[in-house]
């Protein structure tokens, strides 16, 4: 039996037909814990991400009559004010609907690592953004929503950089999403273990290295977001384990102890061994040399995930094999 649509979500969607109205939405217990930006993105499908962040930034979206940041997590009984949404009311405009062509759909179906009634875990290919925005018409989440139209509550649990491949978790149920977010916010006592495989510049001596360096986000004049090590930043820890040494590079396993934007990439740079193929935090000369070996992307791969859900009493462990292009690079380094 198909689950009836969430009436609160349906109420928000009606704003596309009534663009001049203001909606006051009372947050239910089931919706609590969700970021306000993600709530609006889910409810106001068809409205560009840039517009949603604009109304948040201007203070047109209010919670309990006060301004909130996009990262604010809604609480049960919060009163959310959604302002008039004009200019995006034509829900019959098919050209604005998320699109997943046959090639992408086939590729993603082949890269599904785990799926049940509450979860979907995919081995995301490099080059595919996790969501649309900033000039990108659609990403992983939009494509999967087209592929799984029956999953009305399909949401990203976390994100990967566009150039990073590997494990991405999506939830189908709000209860699962809320519990996974709690696991991700566990910080030093986190119960969701994420491991990555990366190829670093140079030979890194030793067996293991713990990089403990606070990270702070910065925005350049160009609008580009960049992360730096800074005493004013948030606590950040990454454990690197040496897997294999090559003549001028090192293959490592990186385990996140905290979850910051670009954390592995910046900590690798900070260690003096940036990730090869990294055009933002890497070494330009080393990247050029690696192109001769066939590396035309960031060598960073979300290799495995392990966690346990209390709501289902289920322990989940998945791993994503390295893409063939990265395997070829490793073989080229052996010669």
Residues involved in catalysis: 161
Helix residue ranges per DSSP H, the chain: 7-13, 36-43, 49-57, 102-110, 140-147, 174-184, 263-270, 284-291, 324-334
The count of other CB atoms within 10 Å of the CB of residue 43 is 23
CA–CA dist 189, 196 (Å, integer)? 19
Paired with 244 in beta bridges are 251
Reduced to 3 states (helix: H, G, I; strand: E, B; else coil), residue 220 is coil
The count of other CB atoms within 10 Å of the CB of residue 202 is 17
CA–CA dist 209, 262 (Å, integer)? 18
**Nearest Cα to Cα of residue 151 among 125, 177, 126:** 177
Here the tokens at position 200 are 């670093």
Cβ(3)–Cβ(151) under 8 Å?
no
The count of other CB atoms within 10 Å of the CB of residue 174 is 19
The count of other CB atoms within 10 Å of the CB of residue 126 is 21
């Amino acid at each position: 039996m198909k689950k009836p649509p969430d009436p609160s979500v349906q109420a928000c969607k009606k704003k596309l037909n009534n663009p001049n109205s203001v909606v006051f939405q009372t947050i239910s217990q089931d919706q609590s814990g969700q970021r306000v930006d993600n709530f609006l993105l889910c409810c106001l499908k068809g409205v560009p991400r840039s517009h949603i962040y604009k109304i948040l930034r201007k203070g047109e979206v209010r919670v309990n009559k006060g301004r909130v940041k996009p990262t604010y997590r809604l609480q049960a009984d919060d009163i959310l004010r959604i302002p008039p949404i004009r200019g995006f009311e034509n829900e019959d405009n098919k050209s604005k609907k998320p699109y997943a062509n046959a090639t992408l759909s086939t590729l993603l179906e082949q890269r599904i690592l785990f799926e049940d009634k509450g979860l979907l875990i995919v081995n995301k290919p490099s080059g595919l953004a996790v969501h649309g925005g900033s000039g990108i018409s659609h990403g992983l989440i939009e494509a999967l929503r087209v592929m799984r139209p029956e999953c009305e509550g399909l949401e990203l649990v976390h994100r990967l950089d566009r150039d990073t491949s590997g494990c991405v978790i999506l939830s189908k149920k709000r209860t699962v999403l809320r519990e996974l977010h709690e696991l991700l916010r566990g910080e030093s006592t986190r119960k969701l273990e994420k491991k990555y495989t990366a190829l670093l510049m140079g030979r890194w001596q030793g067996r293991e290295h713990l990089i403990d360096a606070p990270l702070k986000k910065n925005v350049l004049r160009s609008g580009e977001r960049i992360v730096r090590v800074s005493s004013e930043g948030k606590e950040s820890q990454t454990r690197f384990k040496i897997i294999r040494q090559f003549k001028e590079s090192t293959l490592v396993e990186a385990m996140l102890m905290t979850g910051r934007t670009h954390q592995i990439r910046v900590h690798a740079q900070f260690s003096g061994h940036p990730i090869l193929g990294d055009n933002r935090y890497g070494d330009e000369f080393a990247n050029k040399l690696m192109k001769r070996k066939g590396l035309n992307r960031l060598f960073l791969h979300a290799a495995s995930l392990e966690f346990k859900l209390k709501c289902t009493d289920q322990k989940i462990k998945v791993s994503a094999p390295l893409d063939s292009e990265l395997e070829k690079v490793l073989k080229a380094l052996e010669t």
